[in-house]
A = this chain, B = another copy of it.
Amino acid sequence: MCYYCLEMTLSEEDYIKTIYHLSDFNSKSVATNAIAEQMKTKPSSVTDMVKKLSEKSLVNYKKYQGVLLSEKGRLVALSIIRKHRLWEVFLVDKLNFAWDEVHVVAEQLEHIKSDALIDKLDAHLGYPKVDPHGDPIPNKDGVFTKSVKKLISELPVGSQGVCVGVNDSSAAFLKFLDKNKIALGDTFKILEIEEFDGSMTISTRSGSIRISKQIATNLFLEIVDEE
């Protein structure tokens, strides 16, 4: 399918994406003010744009009732999200950007219009399933495996996942992780939880290590639901 045949502007695309994200998997209708805040614009501008998107039947909109993406709009949103996340993988895996530097650039790259480009990029990256932040990458048809991102401290013994983020991004904590050879992208499995102090034993590439409760509450693990 070729969504950009709709001739969408960059601004329209960003609105569609924002509405998708605010709708919680397109389940609840989104308020004008929420969109305005997210897009750093004014509610009146949002109303104007929402009317236009409604004209193009990308959203369902009734005055004062909030807005929800149509099926067409949902697919457009997912195709932009797909591009955004594939570019983020490219920036980290191929150009050696840090995982926290890529968002701004991907925000631009996601608007490049070329099906061939994104297909070939996908192949070049080895068809990744998640982006550097652990968020799932939809396929061409907008299908993706929902993923759960949780703090290690919230998981039971036996859980397994990829380390995709930190809660505490202080230099001290990041230095600590480095020292203990814990890096974004590593796969962890929870082996044991000590009731006494909440510390945990987890297995990593380089063997099993013990982490304090404080560390466990500051590391996010990405559990991909295989289905």
Interface flags, A94-105, vs B, CB<8A=1, else 0? 111100010011
Do most interface residues of chain A lie in helix, strand or loop, or is the interface mixed?
A: helix
Establish whether residues B105 and A120, one from each chain, have CB atoms under 8 Å apart when the complex forms: no
State which size class the interface on A falls in: 10 to 19
Q: What is the total number of copies of this protein in its complex?
A: 2
Q: Would B109 and A95 count as touching, CB distance under 8 A?
A: no
Asked if B117 and A105 make an inter-chain contact with CB atoms under 8 angstroms apart, the answer reads yes
In the bound complex, do residue A108 and residue B101 qualify as a contact, i.e. CB atoms below 8 Å apart?
no
CA distance A16 to B114 in the complex (A): 24
Q: What is the CB-to-nearest-CB distance from A144 to chain B, in angstroms, rounded to a whole number?
A: 23
Q: Give Cα A96 to B121, complex, Å.
A: 10
Across the interface, do A116 and B94 meet the contact criterion of CB distance under 8 Å? no
Mark A residues whose CB is within 8 Å of B: 91, 94-97, 101, 104-105, 108-109, 112-114, 116-117, 120-121, 124
